[in-house]
Amino acid sequence: GENVEQHPSTLSVQEGDSAVIKCTYSDSASNYFPWYKQELGKGPQLIIDIRSNVGEKKDQRIAVTLNKTAKHFSLHITETQPEDSAVYFCAASRGGTSYGKLTFGQGTILTVHP
Partner 1 sequence: DGGITQSPKYLFRKEGQNVTLSCEQNLNHDAMYWYRQDPGQGLRLIYYSQIVNDFQKGDIAEGYSVSREKKESFPLTVTSAQKNPTAFYLCATTGQDQPLYFGPGTRLTVT
For partner 1, which is the closer residue by CB, 32 or 84?
32
Q: What span, in angstroms and rounded, lies between the C-alpha atoms of 98 and 101?
A: 5
Q: How many CB atoms lie within 10 A of CB 102?
A: 19
Residues 38/44, Cβ–Cβ less than 8 Å: yes
> Quick one: which segment of 11-19, 44-52, 58-66, 72-80 binds partner 1 (CB under 8 A)?
44-52
54 near partner 1, rule: CB under 8 A: no
State the minimum distance, in angstroms, from the CB of residue 36 to partner 1.
8
DSSP-based helix, strand, coil % in the chain, nearest 5: 5, 55, 40
- The piece of 12-20, 42-50, 53-61, 77-85 that touches partner 1 (CB under 8 A) is 42-50
Contact 36, 88 (CB under 8 A): yes
Cβ–Cβ < 8 Å for 7, 58: no
Question: Least distance in Å: CB of 45 to partner 1?
Answer: 7
Name which of 75 and 91 has its Cβ closer to partner 1.
91
Decide: 54 and 40 in contact? Cβ < 8 Å: no
Q: Which stretch binds partner 1 (CB under 8 A): 13-21, 58-66, 74-82, 94-102?
A: 94-102
Q: Which residues bind partner 1 (CB under 8 A)?
A: 1, 4, 6, 34, 36, 41-46, 49, 89, 91, 97, 99-102, 104-107
